[in-house]
Amino acid sequence: MTELTELTIHEAYALLKKGELSSVDLTQAYLDRIDVLDGRLHAYLAVTSDETLEQARRADERRAKGEDDPLLGIPVAYKDVLCTQGVETTCGSKILAGYKPPYTATAIDKMEARGAVMLGKTNMDEFAMGSSTENSGYGVTRNPWDTERVPGGSSGGSAAAVAAQMATAALGSDTGGSIRQPASLCGVVGLKPSYGRVSRYGLVAYASSLDQIGPFSRSVADAAVLLGAIAGHDPQDSTSVDMPVPDYIAALTSDLKGVKVGVPKEYFIEGIDPAVERIVRAAIDQLKELGATVQEVSLPHTDMALPVYYLIAPAEASANLARFDGIRYGPREQGDTLWDTYCQTREAGFGPEVKRRIMLGTYALSAGYYDAYYLKAQKVRTLIKQDFDAAFEDVDVIACPASPTTAFRIGEKVDDPLQMYLSDVFTLALNLAGNCGISVPCGFDDDNLPVGLQLVGPAFGEERILRAAHAYEQATEWHKRVPVLSG
């Protein structure tokens, strides 16, 4: 018999709809599993047990009255960068310890309107700055496939929770790869929507022109349901685009006849793990067997994406994080003067990686350097977007690795920022261009660590990548493998 916590959204929905399962029983199974496993994995920063079960009871009552929705009564987790009214939201930072927002993020509001049940808030790199979830102010999250390794980041808690069957699904955020890279390292599906597809209202900002909320799930079909739930225009977010939300489930097919897949030559480079390259190339061959036409494409400014990202993102962060000064949010370190209070609060509250990026961004924006660094980076960003636009004139989707390596050991890169930043070398260009991307499990290396195939689409081309990812998933068994965990 299938354990309740192994069910996908679609499988659980079928049982709930037939009355063979209650949301309370399903939710309790997850709470029990979290209680057994999370002491080892530390995927959660907060588990809202009492409120969670009350939401499950309300979901069962709604279904009993005739409501029917695939998300009604489904237990999900939320990255701690998303505001939840009355529930502590720390962004993985000591500077927000104890902060309980007076409102809830639009994406979560939409999930709750559909009847989803919140299990809790997941661990993350502080203010979403990191690729390993080692930068959290509240401890490291461990990868369920090997607890001596990282789950990726910054949404590592959400990815680990879904991989370890401690949530049916989860929401994370992706500024430069923070959904797709941990999805790859944890062997789950992770989708970064196009910039503007999902409201950012209630998402605590890291880099406002790059951040986007997206889902983690165990299947592509589940990701399609979740995206359909959270997508759409929001008048409270001026960057959300006012355009219709497609029926993403209707886009899912089992073949890829007529689909043109591009393989960027710049993404198979020196330094990529040979096992990752071999496994991803085998996955691309599978796309061909499903009827796709595969051709090489060029994204010539790819090598500039990393430096451009690490100028633009920290510059935006230095402005966005100026609000955390001990006056309005979180704990305060009282100094002799107002300036001392600011300095001492930020010194005590921010971790080293956040301080590094604030300083880098402030430098890039400072007088005498703005034109040389920030402005030039924005011009090159336009060139990177033009590369993708040109490629998508010839192909429908682009296929490449999500991460250059499988999960690395805890502590292995934490003292080498450049090596850590290179973990996102295949993902961050999409954020600069505003495109959509998905990571889907495509194999395992010799250490039994998962590898993700990244499928990239143009802005608002989510139907394309979901179709390609679903067809690949249905033709393979990789997504069915789960880590072996015990108390």
User: Which residues are known catalytic residues?
Assistant: 79, 154, 178
C-alpha distances (whole Å) from 86 to each of 51, 83, 104 are 11, 9, 9
- Distance between CA 457 and CA 209 in Å, rounded? 18
- Residue 330 main-chain phi, psi, to 5 deg: 65, -170
Tokens standing for residue 189: 């599906």
Q: Output the CA torsion 259→265→270→275 (10° steps).
A: 20
Contact 275, 282 (CB under 8 A): no
**DSSP SS3 for 82:** strand
**DSSP SS3 for 266:** helix
- Distance between CA 168 and CA 460 in Å, rounded? 26
Number of Cα atoms under 13 Å in the Cβ half of residue 29: 20
Element (H, E) at 216: strand 212-217
- Residue 282 main-chain phi, psi, to 5 deg: -65, -40
Given phi > 0 = left and psi -120 to 50 = alpha, else beta, which region is 263?
A: beta
How long a stretch of residues is the chain?
A: 487
Strand ranges inside 218-266, DSSP E: 260-264
Longest pairwise C-alpha distance within the chain = 70
Burial of 475 (0-12, 13-18, 19+ CB in 10 A): middle
Contact 155, 43 (CB under 8 A): no
Q: Which of 267, 271, 259, 260 is nearest to 299 (CA)?
A: 267
CA angle 227, 117, 463 (to 5 degrees): 10
